[in-house]
Amino acid sequence: MVRKALAAATTVLLGLTGLVVLATPAAADPLRIHAAARGVYIGDAVDNNEITDTTYRPLIGQEYNALTPGNAMKWDTTEPTRGQFNYARGDEIVNLAKANNQIVRGHTLVWHNQTPSWVQNLSAADTLTALQNHISNVVTHYRGQLYAWDVVNEPLNEDGTLRNSFWFQKLGSSYIAEAFRAARAADPNVKLYINDYNTDGMGAKSDGMFSLVQSLLAQGVPIDGVGFQAHLATQFGFPNQMQQNLQRFAALGLDVAITELDVRMQLPADATKLATQATYYRDVVNACLAVARCVGITTWGYTDKYSWVPSTFPGEGAALLVDENFQVKPAYTAVHDALAAGTTPDTTPPTTPGTPTAANVTATGATLSWTASTDSGGSGLSGYNIYREQGTTDPLLGQSTSNSTTLTGLTPSTQYQVFVRARDGSGNLSTPSATVTFTTSEGPAVGPCRVAYTATSWGGGGGFTAGVTITNTGTTTVTSWTLAFTFPSGQRVSQGWNANWSQAQGSANVTATNMSYNGTLAPNASTQAGFNGTFTGTNTAPSAFTLNGMNCAVA
Ligand code: XIL
């Protein structure tokens, strides 16, 4: 109804101005509002290269209230070399989700694809150790930040038997239970899923999944949900009895979710195929909505511009809700209308929060509290976003579910102007509160040292060379030194010179101690050391250094 009202308003506008209005989705009536009103989430799968697309980026936040990283949390990205973990790409997507008030499904911990060869070449005993260590590290890193994890992905053959993957060959069926146990040990709250494709309807493969899940439950394995990928194709028909299939898993006491929905077709697309595609999308949404334990639907991308389909299934494509130019397809309207059917979306934001007051202001933290907002739109108050006012951009400092928060990680001796906005269950944000202004106190005294750090990335990316120049700015001679700093974006030291460099596995903290020949630094003397390292994504320089435990000026 809202959509019809908007369409009518657009027609009036067109009549008045004669302007051509692009058929992009109406911001006031996005999918996420309707999904929230129906008690489900609507998710998008995104990759790091896509979220820098200035047309796409705002649509991700506008339309969706959940995200899945398409690749950023897979093993080949998170642990390409044994014991060296890279979270920069996954963190980037989690941070986008936070800014957009979206939940995140982690994808995926154990899979036979996109797993480095070092894992595939281990002995059986070492395979189990590597699996447990990987899950422990990755799940711990994201603890408290994700809604769910796809713990085991695609374990089944088409006939419903267990896939003869390297996991199965080394560990037998036990790898599945081991993976879930390791994930639960690392995060007691995140929902743990098993996930597969061609299990969407009743059939041999979904029967196999049903037996597998029953046996996991019988063994007391900590599993919370079953993911149905729903990579569909118009030429193969709609899955058989999808709603009944979801329902039988839900009846085991588990959540179910549509995790990777897309509906491809043989190219070229035409009006008939696009209309068929729209009915598939509609019927998947309706199957989920009809099952109380179906928690949400994730489309495997939003725009055909970034779909995985054309490069994976030659001659097929056009699988998503909007085309390469972000123009709405019948599929978008079908999903929208299925979610919107019979509901009044909550478009009323909560009331404006009171002006925050700041207490316990330290060099790096402060406690803020404010008078709570109320929400009358139907979806209920869900929390507050806390922003710093800073010229044209207002970065998000944190989120809170109550009307107070403790800020950490602030910069010493710095003035902060902070305001809060309340948000409701549909993602509506209130108007901003008035700002509170406070200034953090001075940080610890700067010691008699100065450090200059430079890093140069190598041509193809991934590798870099860094140099540090350490200067004694004090009045007494230093006879030995230990330099310490923390990498901000997952970098690793590989090999260094002019110091003994050390970085523990899984840690971002680096120390360098002097060699026999460069430990003595007279007042004003400098020495240089360096290392080669690796990075993924960004290669942000460390922001702070200590020498013999004292903070140094950074040149
Ligand atoms: C796909 C990604 O979208 C592609 O970018 C990548 O090249 C291959 O993997 N089932 C899954 C997803 O569980 O992880 C896959 O994602 C699609 C099929």
Task: Tell me the average pLDDT across 491-508.
Answer: 94
- Tens digit of pLDDT for each residue in 183-205? 999 999 999 999 999 999 999 99
| Probe target for ligand 1 pocket from 46, 47, 71, with the most ligand atoms within 8 Å of CB | 71
Task: Tell me the average pLDDT across 17-45.
Answer: 73
Round the average pLDDT of the chain to a whole number and report it. Answer: 91
Cβ(127) – ligand 1 distance below 6 Å: no
- Tens digit of pLDDT for each residue in 284-306? 999 999 999 999 999 999 999 99
Residue 7: is its pLDDT beyond 60? no
Least confident of 27-31, 148-152, 275-279, 353-357: 27-31
Atom 13 in ligand 1: which residue has the minimum CA distance? 153
Residue 8: is its pLDDT beyond 50? no
Residue 18: is its pLDDT beyond 60? no
| 493 Cα–ligand 1 center, Å | 31
Cα gap 19→21, rounded to integer Å:
6
Residue 26: is its pLDDT beyond 80? no
Atom 14 in ligand 1: which residue has the minimum CA distance? 70
Cβ(308) – ligand 1 distance below 6 Å: yes
Residue 232: is its pLDDT beyond 60? yes
Residue 436: is its pLDDT beyond 70? yes
Task: Tell me the average pLDDT across 109-129.
Answer: 97
| 198 Cα–ligand 1 center, Å | 14
Least confident of 173-182, 302-311, 443-452: 443-452
Whole-angstrom distance between the N-terminal and C-terminal Cα of the chain? 60
> Would you state the structure tokens that stand for residue 432, as one six-digit string?
């901003």
pLDDT at 28: 57
Least confident of 170-179, 250-259, 510-519, 541-550: 541-550
Cα gap 356→419, rounded to integer Å:
7
pLDDT at 442: 83
Residue 343: is its pLDDT beyond 80? no
> Would you state the structure tokens that stand for residue 295, as one six-digit string?
């928690």
Cα gap 431→352, rounded to integer Å:
6
| Probe target for ligand 1 pocket from 300, 302, 313, 316, with the most ligand atoms within 8 Å of CB | 300
Q: Do 320 and 299 touch, CB atoms closer than 8 A?
A: yes
Is 260 in the active site?
yes
Residue 527: is its pLDDT beyond 50? yes
| 70 Cα–ligand 1 center, Å | 6
Q: Do 346 and 379 touch, CB atoms closer than 8 A?
A: yes
Helices and strands per DSSP (H, E), number in the chain: 14, 26
pLDDT at 458: 84
Cα gap 442→473, rounded to integer Å:
20
Cα gap 83→367, rounded to integer Å:
37
Cα gap 515→470, rounded to integer Å:
14
The torsion defined by the Cα of 236, 241, 244 and 248, in degrees rounded to 10, comes to: -50
Residue 382: is its pLDDT beyond 50? yes
- Tens digit of pLDDT for each residue in 454-481? 999 887 678 999 999 999 999 999 999 9
Enumerate residues 6+ apart whose C-beta is below 8 A from 58.
none
Q: With pLDDT > 90 as the criterion, what percentage of the chain qualifies?
A: 81
Residue 491: is its pLDDT beyond 60? yes
Residue 1: is its pLDDT beyond 70? no
Cα gap 147→137, rounded to integer Å:
17
Is 154 in the active site?
yes
Residue 6: is its pLDDT beyond 60? no
pLDDT at 15: 30
The torsion defined by the Cα of 406, 409, 414 and 419, in degrees rounded to 10, comes to: -40
Residue 372: is its pLDDT beyond 90? yes
Residue of 446, 383, 437 lying closest to 415 (CA atoms): 437
Task: Tell me the average pLDDT across 372-394.
Answer: 86
| 487 Cα–ligand 1 center, Å | 30
pLDDT at 9: 31
pLDDT at 490: 87
Residue 427: is its pLDDT beyond 70? yes
3-state helix, strand, coil in the chain (%, to 5): 30, 30, 45
Task: Tell me the average pLDDT across 148-165.
Answer: 98
Q: How far lies 355's CA from each of 21, 299, 419, in Å? A: 40, 39, 7
| Probe target for ligand 1 pocket from 89, 298, 308, with the most ligand atoms within 8 Å of CB | 308
